[in-house]
Amino acid sequence: MSIFNFFRAAPRASAVQAKERLQIVMAHERAGRSGPDYLPMLQQELLAVIAKYVNIDENKVEVKLDRGGDCSTLEVNIELPAREQAKAAAATKPGDKPAGNDDAATKRPAGGAVGNAGGKKRI
């Protein structure tokens, strides 16, 4: 469906979407209110572990979080330098793509919601 149709047909009333978006974001915010924000720490420690085996350029680390209703996904993409390919392959399990651009190094459920985040980003 094109953007044009989207506004035209108004498949769902915007107020309904407002409510759904609020329910999801606020469930996460309420859960996070009590504890400290662990994401920066998690990211740091993850990177530290990976850095033990591969040289990583901190500017080539991309962290994405998608807070969903049933589960959340944390996606960390690390671009591995070409020279480190051999070393990286030895240190990680086989099947990892070599030095790709969008190599998903790790994915974890986050945000307190329990769910099977699996290896795929939810759409």
Looking at the Cβ atoms of 33 and 93, the one nearer to other proteins is 33
Per rule CB under 8 A, count of chain residues that contact other proteins: 15
Indicate the SS3 state at residue 78. Answer: strand
Looking at 8, 21, 108, 122, which residue binds other proteins (CB under 8 A)? 21
Looking at the Cβ atoms of 13 and 90, the one nearer to other proteins is 13
Binding mask 30-69 for other proteins (x = CB under 8 A): x--x------------------------------------
How many Å apart are CA 20 and CA 120, to the nearest integer? 23
Q: Does 15 bind other proteins (CB under 8 A)?
A: yes
The answer to whether 91 and 54 are in contact (CB under 8 A) is yes
Find the angle CA(19)-CA(23)-CA(29) to the nearest 5 degrees.
140
Give the phi and the psi of residue 49 in degrees, each rounded to 5.
Answer: -65, -45
Q: Does 25 bind other proteins (CB under 8 A)?
A: yes
Give the phi and the psi of residue 109 in degrees, each rounded to 5.
Answer: -65, 145
- Which span (8-16, 36-44, 55-63, 108-116) binds other proteins, by CB under 8 A? 8-16
Q: Which two tokens stand for residue 36?
A: 């400290």
